Amino acid sequence: MINFRKISEDDLPLILRWRTDPEVTRYMQTDIEFDPEKQLIWYNQIVRDCSPAEHLIILHNDKPVGVLYLGKCNSTIQESTWGYYIGESESQIIGGLIPAYFYNYMFLHRDTSLNKITGHCFALNTKIRAIHRFYGVREVKVLKEYICKHGKMFDIILVEITREKWLSQKENFQLYQLILKE
């Protein structure tokens, strides 16, 4: 079973391990140094206190396996942005299921006025692009040589899925329901 819960301070060592793992960060726009003090500052300034975004732990059978980021919903255009990563290598296989749980939660339960969810991915991340296509996510734009990592430029692809598209296929994914744990 897959669920999400809010990040707590107790999660910081695990998140720091994931965020500094080269297998995780290779498809992330930023790399961070292994610094527990900076991790605590990030948590206090961004996660706990002032960010309108949400940072959630992805749980698989109640075990933390990754992080999901949900940007603040823009109520004017009824749009939000998101992203996620799986930090536990033995749980990578469930990564392809996360969008089904997330889209059902967002479009059917959490915010029924939400019209669109956007995100981005590295163009060379062919696995996540295939996962997005499977769920009906549309590639909107390619940002050429947008991110520089380790002295190399990478293209980023902007993606989106609309409420209408998700609802048109929701019966295919109706089994993927989650409970947001407190």
Domains in the chain, please, with CATH? 2-181 (3.40.630.30)
> What does pTM read for this prediction?
0.90
Mean pLDDT of 127-152: 95
Q: Are 74 and 114 in contact (CB under 8 A)?
A: no
With pLDDT > 90 as the criterion, what percentage of the chain qualifies?
62
Cα 178–Cα 173–Cα 82 angle in degrees, nearest 5: 60
Q: Order the strands of the 54-60 sheet from edge to edge.
A: 138-149, 152-162, 116-122, 79-86, 63-70, 54-60, 2-6, 180-181
Give pLDDT, residue 51: 60
Residue 24 CA to residue 7 CA, distance in Å, equals: 18
The DSSP code for 78 is T
With a cut of 90, say whether residue 76 has pLDDT above it: no
- Rounded CA-CA distance 111/166 in Å is 14
Separation CA 74–CA 58 (nearest Å): 24
